[in-house]
Structure 1
Amino acid sequence: MKISSEQLGQVLKVYNQKKSSKSTSEAKKTKGDKLSISTGAKELQEAKKALKNQPQIRKEKVERLKKQIKTGNYNVSGEEVAEKMLSRTIVDNLV
């Protein structure tokens, strides 16, 4: 049996059509990305939003301290400074 070049061309044409239709159907199935965010990441996002809503500077406290410094009434004992430094160090070591 002889196969002519015309017949071979037709076979290849059909083969390529089936191959391309198969690959497009597979591409449709796998098309699109999926993203899932962990619970911890969601909580972190919420915490960041809450932090952004907080004022950066506590204006009342800053104004009060400015007045105390200006009038010479701002006094901090060495014990208070040491206590804050130690408590901050302890917290930093725990976290």
Structure 2
Amino acid sequence: MIISSNQVAGILKTYQEQNNVAKAGKANKGESARSPQQPDEVILSSQVQTFGSVLQSVRNLSDVRQDKVDAYSKAIEEGSYHVAGKAIADKMIGRVIADNIGE
């Protein structure tokens, strides 16, 4: 999946707008009469707790696949690593198309 810079900019803009609305809402609530409030409580199901622990395990994994890095490094050093020009052109064209989506 290719994510264009325009898509990222749109997401950041939406997030910023939502954040501004939330801050404005909190400011308006602060002006109203204050009453004692009970603390919020969240109870997570066992499935969500399991998902959270799995997600944390995945986040702790390395982003680098050292076996791939070693194989490509060796091929480059030996001069046996070659990339087809068509493959490079296809990636470049795909990037331009993705960047222009939504304009």
TM-score (norm 1): 0.43
Higher CA-based Rg: 1
TM-score (norm 2): 0.40
Per chain length, whose mean CA-contact separation is higher, i.e. which structure has more relative contact order (CA < 8 Å, sep 6+)? 2
